[in-house]
Amino acid sequence: MKRNSRNKVLLAALAAGSVCVAAAAERGNLDIEFVKGLIAIPSESRSIPECNRATAYLKDYLERRGVHCHVERTEEGRDALYAATLPGKEHDYAFVTHIDVVPAADPSQFQPKVVGDEIWGRGACDTKVNAALIAQVLVNLAGKASVGAFFATDEDGCAGKVPTCTMLRRAGFTPKKMVLVGDTLGDSTNRLFTAQKGHWGFRITAKGRGGHSSIPWKLDNAIPKITKAVDSIMAAYPKPPAGTDWYSTLAPTILSAGDAPNSIPGEASATFSFRYIGKNDVAWLSGLVRQTTGLEPETLYCVPPVTNNPDDPLIKGLFNAMQANWKDREFKIANLYGATDAFQFSDLDLPTVIFTHDGAGAHKPDEHGSLASAAEYLDFFTKWIMLRM
């Protein structure tokens, strides 16, 4: 079949994508038994052995279906998987998601239950159903398109010295055209996120002279010093702009001082969370902290923001295709306040988007994901990527 003829057929299929839920689930050929098996592994982020077991389960599933797989291990012993439709380390498109989950208070949450078109269990929403649909996209496109996928195991890069996606990138695995991050945000399923805030966690420490509280005149209490420093920073920080909620925000989150009720502390600290949108915002705020307090901010972690060119043709094309596929929904381009693994690709200057399938209850006992929605996304991305080849 000639390329133009094939594209017409695929475009027609995309346009006809808004069909009944049962047909979508059947059409998307989502492997529900595989989804159930992945959820049944208690791959809590803190449990490296279980995260590695989930990685091995996913790798075995993909390799038996013709997908090329490579596992890298962190210094702490945590595995992460890169899988691709073709051999090699560089591919046109890269999917990104994670297969580790937050802790479950009740072990029964790792016993998946299918109820109608939904699957219930820890990780069903955040974000093993996403991982399953991405895995199936690779199976569908094996040998036919240039697509890779990063399957992280460290909850958006928050565990270990080196985030697992960053580790894989340092090993040479990288996309060439576009990054597609699959995460689940509950009530945000009709949005395509094209920007994500960065996050700088920092601490300031005030020094004094501590001792017994019965002789305060001989001491230099660090608590008033740190509270004054916090007040000075927040007073100097610019007020929010009117008419928008997309701006850099600063909040003190932890105050630490003292270890006994009858002892005046000689040291006190304050921790801040800075969610920022500008690439130079951290340098600017560092200067503001020094100027207003005379204290040096200590970086605890720093995650860069994700930004995109709003006129990028790949992003526009993806958005238009989504709107055409889901005619009963109104899709929107949006900004993301929280964190995903997208930040680990921000240095590439490639169009990077975050998509979500239907689900709810992330981190809660009633967590569930939509199998029908996952099947629709599976079918959509399979066809959309083929159109790009």
- Calculate mean pLDDT across residues 340-349: 92
Residue 10, pLDDT above cutoff 90: no
What is the tens place of the pLDDT at every residue in 172-184? 999 999 999 998 7
Contacts of 78 (CB under 8 A, 6+ apart): 48, 51, 52, 153, 154, 159, 160, 164
**Per residue in 173-221, pLDDT tens?**
999 999 999 987 655 568 899 999 999 999 999 999 999 999 999 999 9
Q: What is the mean pLDDT of residues 150-175?
A: 87
345-350 average pLDDT score:
92
Predicted local confidence at residue 28, as pLDDT: 52
Judged by average pLDDT, the poorest of 27-31, 184-188, 269-273 is 184-188
102-144 residue pLDDT tens:
999 899 999 999 999 999 999 998 999 999 999 999 999 999 9
CA distances from residue 326 to 12, 46, 100, 203, 354 in whole angstroms, order as listed: 13, 38, 29, 46, 17
Predicted TM-score of the model (pTM): 0.85
Beta-strand relationship, 90-98 and 249-257 = unpaired
Residue 355 near residue 182, CB atoms below 8 Å: yes
- The structural domains of the chain, ordered by start, are 3-197+305-388 (3.40.630.10), 198-303 (3.30.70.360)
> Residue 307: what residue type?
T
Examine the pLDDT at 99 and tell me if it is beyond 70: yes
The pLDDT of residue 119 is 95
Cα–Cα distance list, 58 to 53, 205, 300, 349 (Å): 9, 45, 33, 29
- Residue 98 near residue 354 (C-beta atoms within 8 A): no
Whether the per-residue pLDDT at 24 is higher than 80: the answer is no
* pLDDT confidence bin for 29, thresholds 50/70/90: confident
Mean pLDDT of all residues in 53-63? 98
Q: How confident is the model at residue 338 (pLDDT cuts 50, 70, 90)?
A: confident
